[in-house]
Structure 1
Amino acid sequence: MAGKVSNWDAAKLLQRIKDFTRSIIEDLARGRSPTISINRFRNYCMNPEANCFCSSDEPKGQEILTITRETHTYRIDILLRVLLIIRQLLQENRHGSKRDIYYMHPSVFTAQSVVDRAINDICILFQCSRHNLNVVSVGNGMVMGWLRFKEAERKFDCINNPNTAFPIPVLVEEVKDIVSIAEYILVVEKETVFQRLANDTFCKTNRCIVITGRGYPDVSTRRFLRLLMEKLHLPVYCLVDCDPYGFEILATYRFGSKSV
């Protein structure tokens, strides 16, 4: 594969996808078994804005996929099917979730985990992030408080209803016109705590923004929090359980996740 995409360019990635699929077709046409080499890393990209899927760690070995092995044949088939869908997303400048991709061919993919693995492999092969592939997470997070912003053409006016929960936008890169008079951001682990704060009109007497990922935070929630930190320059506090799971969630907000 060519080097890492330092500046995001959909046209370049589309060309690399075309070259990759052409090389497989040429091998098959010449009677050769195509091989696909996939690096494996101890950690994965912890920065959702980064251009590569892997971390800066050196690869911890390689997997060589070949059609001479039956299990590899199925995996290559899935990889190419998912790659076709991703190519369509890039060509049409659309976004889709991993769940959307799974439901395009549920009888072929058989399980969501099969699609997830193929997307991970594609990110490693092309040294890019899921965000670069126009594949987004289905957002689980919520936000309330002294905040106003836009996502595409949709307006979120939390300031007029500071104790009303709004969904975290999935397309964080399209969030703009952020306005806030908050003094800090409070991240809470549990949805029940978030709802309790809303019921107690916590934001009415406290000029803050409250965010929850409903437990383990998804990528959209973490990216949205990072965006607010960069734009508003507010202190961030995190309320989690005092146990290993709570500290894991705290570390995920602060440093990112090994899996996404």
Structure 2
Amino acid sequence: MGWLRFTEGDRKVDCIKSPSTAFSVPVDDEIKGIVSGAQYILVVEKEAVFNRLANDKYCEINNCIVITGRGYPDVSTRRFLYHLVDKLCLPVYCLVDSDPYGFDILLIYRFGSMTMAYDSKLLSVPGIHWLGLLPSDINTYPISNRCLLPLTTKDKCKTNAMLKRCYLHHDEPNWRVELEIMLQNDVKFEIEALSVTSFSFLSMVYIPEKIGALKGDQDQNMCRKGKDR
């Protein structure tokens, strides 16, 4: 949903007419005529969160595109996201649960799946930013203790296995730190934990603040690079 228009074969998709209406992700590779006035793309893990943002008219207010893979994304979703980023050159932010499975989904969007490593270049988005939920958010945002769940033995095994992946050391060391915080805290929590205070807290406070902070960091890095030159 959001500020996007394109053609898939004989099918014309115009999300712009109704930015809060959901459209299915195209399965055809022949996507043409992409038009967008969006400022960024937001990828959300869960359909429930996608629907929450639709109810809050998030795309209309924030001039963006929102996509969900409804959990682990299929090939069509990942290919479509890659195609949009390639054509529109927009920043991409990812919102997942603060648990090992949410993090694993983030890694699939960022690096591709391990089972399809041979085709990862066309099915991944190296520039994607992890918006949240971060394990460290527990110290910053109003997350109720009743929303915190202890990590299971399976959760810990999965987390430790992901920590051993070499690309986390080289490409996303800050993500690795957050994963270590998850283990240290020994808790996990879902995106819906932010709705305890207010149903619209996610769309009105959390996401705008996070994107603003990331943009600020990017601007500072650009300034540093300019001075280095």
State TM-score, norm by structure 1. 0.44
Q: State which of 129, 149, 155 in structure 1 corresponds to 2:6.
A: 149
Q: State which of 168, 190, 193 in structure 1 corresponds to 2:46.
A: 190
Give the match for residue 82 of structure 2.
226
Q: State which of 30, 38, 41 in structure 2 corresponds to 1:174.
A: 30
What are the superposed Cα offsets for residues 150-201 of structure 1, whole Å, 9 maximum, x if unpaired?
Answer: 0001000000110000000111x21110000000000000000000101111
Give the match for residue 63 of structure 1.
none
**Within the alignment, does 1:203 sit opposite 2:59 as a pair?**
yes
What are the superposed Cα offsets for residues 55-106 of structure 1, whole Å, 9 maximum, x if unpaired?
Answer: xxxxxxxxxxxxxxxxxxxxxxxxxxxxxxxxxxxxxxxxxxxxxxxxxxxx
**Within 5 Å, which residues of 2 pair with 1:31-110?**
none
CA distance in 2, matches of 1:175, 1:246: 29
Query: By how many angstroms is 1:234 displaced?
Result: 0.3
Query: By how many angstroms is 1:231 displaced?
Result: 0.2
CA distance in 2, matches of 1:256, 1:231: 19
**Within the alignment, does 1:165 sit opposite 2:18 as a pair?**
no
What are the superposed Cα offsets for residues 17-45 of structure 1, whole Å, 9 maximum, x if unpaired?
Answer: xxxxxxxxxxxxxxxxxxxxxxxxxxxxx
**Within the alignment, does 1:259 sit opposite 2:115 as a pair?**
yes
SS at the partner of 1:224? Answer: helix
CA distance in 2, matches of 1:255, 1:243: 18
Query: By how many angstroms is 1:259 displaced?
Result: 2.3
Aligned length: 116
Query: By how many angstroms is 1:242 displaced?
Result: 1.1
Give the match for residue 102 of structure 2.
246
State TM-score, norm by structure 2. 0.50
CA distance in 1, matches of 2:79, 2:52: 24
CA distance in 2, matches of 1:161, 1:233: 23
SS at the partner of 2:71? Answer: coil
Q: Residue type matched to 2:70 in 1?
A: R
Where do 5+ consecutive residues of structure 1 fail to align? 1-143
Higher helix share: 2
SS at the partner of 2:84? Answer: helix
Give the match for residue 136 of structure 2.
none
Q: Residue type matched to 1:200 in 2?
A: D
Query: By how many angstroms is 1:204 displaced?
Result: 1.2
Structure exhibiting the larger radius of gyration computed from Cα positions:
1
Q: Matched residues, percent identical? A: 71
Q: Residue type matched to 1:227 in 2?
A: H
Query: Moved runs in structure 1, 4+ residues, more than 6 A?
Result: none
Give the match for residue 80 of structure 1.
none
Q: Residue type matched to 1:145 in 2?
A: G
CA distance in 1, matches of 2:60, 2:32: 24
Give the match for residue 20 of structure 1.
none
CA distance in 2, matches of 1:178, 1:249: 26
**Within 5 Å, which residues of 2 pair with 1:110-121?**
none
